[in-house]
Amino acid sequence: QGPIRGVNREIPVLQCHGDCDPLVPLMFGSLTVEKLKSLINPANVTFRTYSGMMHSSCIEEMMDVKQFIDKHLPPID
């Protein structure tokens, strides 16, 4: 399939990956982010890696997710 068109091409994406993940190697995360950049506006794709993180999460990742949500989603009243 080719690039996504219209408003969906501008959707922001945050992809996070640990550099020590034994289940999904970092190389696969890197390949995935490159594919995403070919489908949507590459300026809207953010790829974050976390040193020492395995197939789990860490405080730094959760803070990045929070900042991403705060930036891209409207506040709930």
Give alpha helix (H) positions in the chain. 26-39, 59-72
15 has a pLDDT exceeding 90: yes
Q: Give the integer Cα–Cα distance in Å for 38 and 19.
A: 23
Q: What is the value of pTM for the model shown? A: 0.87
**For the chain, what are the domain ranges?**
19-72
pLDDT at 67: 97
Residue-level pLDDT at 17: 98
Give pLDDT, residue 1.
Answer: 60
pLDDT digits 0-9 by tens, 23-65:
999 999 999 999 999 999 999 999 999 999 999 999 999 999 9
